[in-house]
Amino acid sequence: MAVSQRKDVTSQEAIPLISRRGQRICDAFASGAFLANAGARIMSRGYFDSISKPQGIVDFGVSENKLMFDVFEKKLAEPKIQTLAPHMLFYDVMAGNLRFRGALAEFLTERLNAAKPLDPKNVRVCNGAGPMMELVASSIGDPGDCLMMPMPCYGGVFWDVGGRAEINVVPVHLTSKMEEGDTMPFQLTAKKIEDTYNKATAEGKKIVGILLINPHNPLGDIYSAELIMDILNVCHRHSLHVIMDEIYMMSIFDTEAKFTSVLSLPNIPDPQRVHLVWGFAKDFCMSGMRCGVLYSVNEAVNKAVDALVYFNMIPGPIQHVLTEIVLDKEWLDNVFIPTKYSRMREARSYMCDKLSALGIPVRKSPSGLYIWADFRKYIQPLTPENELVLFEKFMDAGVYLTPGIEAFNCGEPGFFRMVFTVYRDHLEVGMERIAAVLKDCAENGLTKPQADNAEAPTSADVKEESLEDLLGLLQGRISSSGWLEETRTQNWATQNPEALEQFKQAMKSQEGFGDK
């Protein structure tokens, strides 16, 4: 009788604890670990609160508008918003219920000054503008393809399009040094985009499009109609997609500034490859509501988003709340928008005045929740490493602001983004802490290097010293990187046995230290 054969399952290699794909995603997230680590440090120390945590960290780093809670508290208490209907608790259209999408089409048509009414069938929603970036990137590019993006830029984009979509970002580098034809530092031009495209393709990279933020983050610039059209023409020549992120289009506090939405242009050269992304996080001061919006006339992209959005749906009750908000034009025009802009102008003016008194130049910009500030005079020598030294000094002092290189891929050191749309007491305390750090830098220098002829401690140096003196001496030596490179623990111990023994005895005398 034949015996059935089967593979011995115990003979296969052990299944790893995480897949290669899972590890790649972890590695991709870790590549942007600076912001994650900063957030973890803030959570560990705690956010500043004048009563419950006065030693906590003041957050000038996260781009949120915290000036409007009292206005929303009243608005969200209205009976029509508090309504709960049966359909809100059950499955609905994954890319957004039809009433919400219709309300958004009407709202965006007006607020963007669209060249023609937006069609609700081309509107899609998901749980945030960042996730919407991922859905669009997944729909227009394959793993390994590239999107161009002007730098400095919002650093989260690397994760938005690179994490799961596996799209690479090719920087269009902008600098503080003006090139021929520029009228201001960090100026974007169509030529810089085309030069970047030509260089990248010559290197064998496949460019599928460009991602633009207008108004810009972190610079606060607003792109002119002429610049946008020039960029669209460049992209049309090379059959490139344009993802236009206009998430700050209602955060323009300068009454004289003119905003041009890409959808307001009457003759877009390649409308099938233009995709607008917007969201409620910045303009409506509600990043916790998690709602991003896409408008695209590309049916193929919309179908792909319809499939992918299964993993990113917005709860029915939230869609209802946001529908009622965008439909209330009287409240928007007479309460929300004027109150928000007034408070933004006041907060920005306070921060700018304080920075001016400290000799910190700021970029003159009409929009955004933040200021692009130039701290180069306090960073000497001016290096990327010393930019982080200043960042650490700010963190130690209890104030978090984001450095240009690590957070925004800025090509040169010395610039920080500072969010001003915070509570007034946070604004005041944060600026006091920044002033104290800069005063210390002005008086003592950014770092305190030891003299070139500094020598390692000997037994004679420390024979009669206290533990505190000894530790101070050692810390002084450690702060000099040259000494650190030349002097290792083992070498010092061999050369100074008496000092080492004294150090051990001193450590033992302190509770919680020494050998157990």
pLDDT of residue 198: 98
Q: Above 60 in pLDDT, residue 131? A: yes
Q: Above 70 in pLDDT, residue 471? A: no
Lowest average pLDDT, out of 133-137, 321-325, 510-514, goes to 510-514
Q: Above 60 in pLDDT, residue 415? A: yes
Percent of the chain whose pLDDT exceeds 70? 84
Q: What is the mean pLDDT of residues 449-465?
A: 39
46: left (phi over 0), alpha (psi -120 to 50) or beta: left
Lowest average pLDDT, out of 36-40, 95-99, 169-173, 493-497, goes to 493-497
Which of the two residues, 458 and 53, has the higher pLDDT score?
Answer: 53
pLDDT band at 249 (very low <50, low <70, confident <90, very high): very high
Lowest average pLDDT, out of 114-118, 247-251, 257-261, 466-470, goes to 466-470
Distance CA 174, CA 218 (A): 12
Q: What is the mean pLDDT of residues 162-172?
A: 95
Regarding pTM above 0.85, the answer is no
Q: Above 60 in pLDDT, residue 41? A: yes
Q: Above 70 in pLDDT, residue 180? A: yes
What would the pLDDT profile of 328-358 be if each residue is shown by its tens digit? 999 999 999 999 999 999 999 999 999 999 9
pLDDT band at 30 (very low <50, low <70, confident <90, very high): confident
Lowest average pLDDT, out of 183-187, 381-385, 448-452, goes to 448-452
pLDDT of residue 10: 57
Tell which residue, 416, 252, 427, 419, has the closest CA to residue 350. Answer: 427
Distance CA 248, CA 153 (A): 14
Peptide bond connecting 131 to the previous residue in cis, omega within 30 degrees of 0: no
> Which residues in 487-496 are b (16+ Cβ under 10 Å) and which e?
beeeebeeeb
With residues binned 3-state (H G I as helix, E B as strand, rest as coil), the percentages for the chain, rounded to 5, are 50, 10, 40
Q: Above 50 in pLDDT, residue 267? A: yes
pLDDT band at 513 (very low <50, low <70, confident <90, very high): very low
Let me know the angle formed at the C-alpha of 193 by 189 and 196, rounded to the nearest 5 degrees: 140
What would the pLDDT profile of 350-390 be if each residue is shown by its tens digit? 999 999 999 999 999 999 999 999 999 999 999 999 999 99
Mean pLDDT, the chain, whole residue set: 87
Which of the two residues, 494 and 416, has the higher pLDDT score?
Answer: 416
